[in-house]
Structure 1
């Protein structure tokens, strides 16, 4: 006898993850609908493999800190931007779906300004995604299939930049969005100090660091 349970019945604790195999695309769509939009777990899907992960408070703080630092940087440079947070990005043709910790449209900000729903058949993917690898590794296969050009991954209090080249991610010492700026140095410096100061103070000091480095409009 086969016993079936609703996905919504699975209760994950902070820091836990669950991986399900042989999940068809329509099943994936049905699961998303069943879970609804008001949930805390993140999902990743690639060719039949579905992963759920529940972030820790530490994970969320790192995510928010890096997002805030990025916003400081963008504003100091006078660049327009849009963030769609942990929106579900999915493409049936690619059999891939991902919910980033955060994501930003910078070159393509105009395409999503005011947008209500994302359809990757016509809308662009984010220019940059942020992922915190604290209790599990980022599902890069889904990102590669969707074609997100740049991922900022936070590991061991440091920033790692992955750029998409020929369909695969490679580690890079510089950002595609900010090719001439010491991004890894700056973000990693303030990640390392994240246990000493509140986020507000870190953002103020990062703005001062940007000025010291000549990063401004």
Structure 2
């Protein structure tokens, strides 16, 4: 058997590394070795660990979609707590995940002021965002942790809601039931490529104000 240190592994941007047959203690040790100051993202589900290295395109898209959610919440005067790419994990469910962006909305009051997450007592985020999802590991982890709404972006946005432990594709976001989220995301990303990030976000804000 050959034993490798994590620092010996090089995952190129846009690629992922799968490590199988890891128990929970090994997963925790790898998390500790990776540390918090890293660009890689992880997903762990029932013994399989995925380590992903995002691309610049990935980072631009996830920031824009996250900004869209923040603008919608702000303009609709909906309180939230944003936890970004926090690591969510629960040993009882044998799952761990780091979303690209996540928000507490329905449960925001409970999470106000918190700087550490313990899923044995805290709820999972109400809305999570993943860009360029390519593996079942991530979806299994989200479902196991009970994240009720998941947005997946792969060239276009898909909205999933958790029902009876499985994600189902829907056309309307439960968080924003009166808004055309699929169209707004597509429009924002297109406008950001043509006009730039800031003008596109300002135009989005004006459009939401007109819809109110």
TM bucket, shorter chain: over 0.9
Work out the CA distance in 1 between the residues paired with 2:51 and 2:27: 12
Q: CA deviation at 1:160?
A: 1.1
Q: CA deviation at 1:182?
A: 1.4
Aligned to 1:8: 7
Give CA-to-partner distance per residue, 1:126-165, whole Å, 9 cap, x none. Answer: 000011016x346100000000000111121x22101101
Work out the CA distance in 1 between the residues paired with 2:195 and 2:109: 35
Choose 107-116 or 163-172, whichever is displaced more.
Answer: 107-116
Choose 178-187 or 27-36, whichever is displaced more.
Answer: 178-187
Is residue 39–residue 53 contact of structure 2 (8 Å, CA) maintained in 1?
Answer: yes
Give CA-to-partner distance per residue, 1:49-76, whole Å, 9 cap, x none. Answer: 0000000000000000001111111000
* Aligned equivalent of 1:188, options 186, 189, 203: 186
User: TM-score normalised to the size of structure 2?
Assistant: 0.96
CA-atom RMSD, angstroms? 1.2
Work out the CA distance in 2 between the residues paired with 1:141 and 1:8: 27
* Aligned equivalent of 1:199, options 186, 197, 201: 197
Q: CA deviation at 1:183?
A: 1.4
SS at match of 1:100: coil
Aligned to 2:175: 177
Aligned to 1:132: 131
Which runs of no fewer than 5 residues in structure 2 stay unpaired?
A: none
Which runs of no fewer than 5 residues in structure 1 stay unpaired?
A: none
SS at match of 1:93: helix
- Please list, as runs of the form range in 1=range in 2, the aligned pairs for 1:54-203 lying within 5 A after superposition: 54-133=53-132, 136-137=134-135, 139-156=138-155, 158-203=156-201
SS at match of 2:195: coil
Aligned to 2:208: 210
Choose 95-104 or 110-119, whichever is displaced more.
Answer: 110-119
Work out the CA distance in 1 between the residues paired with 2:195 and 2:55: 19
Give CA-to-partner distance per residue, 1:150-188, whole Å, 9 cap, x none. Answer: 0111121x2210110111001101011112221112122
SS at match of 1:126: coil
Work out the CA distance in 2 between the residues paired with 1:34 and 1:137: 23
User: TM-score normalised to the size of structure 1?
Assistant: 0.93
Give CA-to-partner distance per residue, 1:4-50, whole Å, 9 cap, x none. Answer: 11223312221111001101110000100111100100000000000
Work out the CA distance in 2 between the residues paired with 1:93 and 1:8: 29
Q: CA deviation at 1:197?
A: 2.0
Give CA-to-partner distance per residue, 1:89-119, whole Å, 9 cap, x none. Answer: 0010100000001101111112222212110
